[in-house]
Amino acid sequence: MAAKFNPQGAEKLLELWLETREMTFRDQLVAQHLPLVNRLCRRFQHLGEPMDDLVQVGTIGLFKAIDKYDPQQGNQLAAFAIPVVMGEIKNYFRDHGWAVKLPRKLQRQKLMVDRTVEGLTQKLGRSPTVSEIGDAAGISEEEVFQTFEVERFGRPLSLDVEHIQDDGQEAASILDRLGEEDPDLEFLAQRMDLKVALGDMDSREQKILYMKFYSGLSQSAIAQRLGISQMHVSRLQRSAMAKLKQSLLTPAAD
């Protein structure tokens, strides 16, 4: 377990490290700042990567920050370390994470199926069938096939790779076929997450959120349209928002 952060102790350790460059002092500095690394890593825990791996990557960034720290720049060590640790984590996702951001439901489903396949393979002594995977994981065969499709997003084809045309024309790359950028794609995964979250509500909660945030109606106007009291609308709106928050902030299982 990481030591509780002690500002005075960390400041003294930093002075000793800067004066002596003794590795023992650096290691103690790292231990003092591990709670900071854990807080930063928790921002990324919903993206499907194991928390232990993120903390390990973040700790490497902390080592780099301590080695590069210059008190003459005027920053506190913690303030200097934050962007270094964040950069290390983001580089990790760039090199090892999903190439395409996926909805949380698919991320959770993919991790669950991977664990199920591993367990069944050890138990059966062979690769399990799709039906066996679905039964063990509690999902349909179609959902199992969806997780297999997810695998393709981890290693997309290069845009520069040329492909032979069926009609005998000159080979062309994917890049040659691209049109204009579609700005809607940037938030596609978030919209899919929101659609799933809204599906967990009853129709009246959905109507209230639609009228409030899409149509811009006041609670009193919504109450009049639904034939209920404004206080009832307020309670239903709070309940709907709590469900949304719970659904959207639930991290993917490690």
38, 12 in Cβ contact below 8 A? no
d(CA 164, CA 174): 11
127, 121 in Cβ contact below 8 A? yes
- pLDDT per residue as tens digits for the range 103-130: 667 777 877 888 888 888 888 888 888 8
Query: Does 1 fall in a domain?
Result: no
Predicted confidence band at 168 (pLDDT cuts at 50, 70, 90)?
A: low
Domain boundary among 96, 127, 144: 96
- pLDDT of amino acid 245: 80
Q: Are residues 86 and 117 in the same domain?
A: no
Domain boundary among 119, 148, 177: 177
- pLDDT per residue as tens digits for the range 138-158: 988 888 888 877 655 555 555
Domain boundary among 37, 69, 96: 96
- pLDDT per residue as tens digits for the range 13-70: 888 888 898 888 888 989 989 998 999 888 877 766 788 888 999 999 999 999 988 8
d(CA 14, CA 16): 5
Predicted confidence band at 201 (pLDDT cuts at 50, 70, 90)?
A: confident
Query: Which whole number is the average pLDDT over 150-175?
Result: 54
63, 77 in Cβ contact below 8 A? no
Query: Does 234 fall in a domain?
Result: yes
- pLDDT of amino acid 49: 75
Q: How many domains does the chain have?
A: 3
Query: Does 37 fall in a domain?
Result: yes
Q: Are residues 25 and 92 in the same domain?
A: yes
Predicted confidence band at 182 (pLDDT cuts at 50, 70, 90)?
A: low
- pLDDT of amino acid 53: 85
Query: Does 2 fall in a domain?
Result: no
Query: Does 45 fall in a domain?
Result: yes
- pLDDT per residue as tens digits for the range 92-102: 776 565 555 56
Predicted confidence band at 188 (pLDDT cuts at 50, 70, 90)?
A: low
Q: Classify residue 213 by its DSSP letter.
A: I
> What domain range is 151 assigned to?
104-177
Query: Which whole number is the average pLDDT over 233-249?
Result: 84
Read off the amino acid at residue 90: K
Residue 25 sits in a domain whose CATH number is 1.10.1740.10
Name the average pLDDT for the chain. 77
Query: Does 254 fall in a domain?
Result: no
Residue 132 sits in a domain whose CATH number is 1.10.10.10
Q: Are residues 67 and 22 in the same domain?
A: yes
Predicted confidence band at 250 (pLDDT cuts at 50, 70, 90)?
A: low
pLDDT surpasses 50 at 178: no
Query: Does 170 fall in a domain?
Result: yes
pLDDT surpasses 80 at 77: yes
Query: Does 36 fall in a domain?
Result: yes
- Tell me the two tokens of residue 15: 């002075």
